Amino acid sequence: MIPYGRQNISQSDIDAVIETLQSDWLTQGPAVTAFENALKSHCTSQYAVAVCNATAALHLAYLSLEIGKGSLVWTSPNTFLSTANAALMCGADIDFVDICPKTYNMSVEALIEKLQKADKEGRLPSLVVPVHFAGQSCDMAEIHKLSIKYGFKIVEDAAHAIGGKYLDKPIGNCKYSDITIFSFHPVKIITTAEGGALLTNNKDLFDKISLLRTHGMTRDPEKMNKPSEGAWYYQMVDLGYNYRITDIQCALGLSQMKRLEEFVNKRHSVRNQYESLFSNIEDVIVPYQSTDSYSSLHLYPVQVGKDKRKEIFDILRASQIGVNVHYFPVHLQPYYRRLGFYEGYCPNAENYYHSAISLPMYPDLTQNQIEYVATKLKEALT
Ligand X SMILES: *Cc1c(COP(=O)(O)O)cnc(C)c1O
- Binding interface with ligand X (CB under 6 A): 53-55, 79-80, 82-83, 131, 157, 159-160, 183, 185, 196
Q: How many CB atoms lie within 10 A of CB 329?
A: 26
Q: How far is the CB of 80 from ligand X (least distance, A)?
A: 4
- List CB contacts of 246: < 8 A, sequence separation 6 or more: 26, 27, 28, 32
Cβ 155 vs Cβ 75: under 8 Å:
no
Q: Which is nearer to ligand X, 160 or 259 (CB)?
A: 160
| CB closer to ligand X, 208 vs 326 | 326
CB contact at 8 A, 311 and 156? no
The least distance separating ligand X from the CB of residue 57, rounded to whole angstroms, comes to 7
- Select 147 or 358, whichever has its Cβ closest to ligand X: 358
Q: How far is the CB of 336 from ligand X (least distance, A)?
A: 15
CA distance 83 to 70: 18
Q: How far is the CB of 83 from ligand X (least distance, A)?
A: 5
User: For residues 160 and 143, is the Cβ–Cβ distance under 8 A?
Assistant: no
Distance CA 281, CA 260 (A): 32
The least distance separating ligand X from the CB of residue 78, rounded to whole angstroms, comes to 9
Q: What is the DSSP letter of 77?
A: S
Q: How far apart are the C-alpha atoms of 3 and 373, rounded to whole Å? A: 11
- Comparison of 278 and 353: residue with beta carbon closer to ligand X: 353
Between 163 and 370, whose beta carbon lies closer to ligand X?
Answer: 163
Nearest distance from residue 375's CB to ligand X, in Å? 29
Give whichever of 114 and 160 is closer to ligand X, judged by the CB atom: 160
Spell 299-328 as b/e; 16+ CB within 10 A means b.
bbbbbbeeeebeebbebbeebebebbbbbe
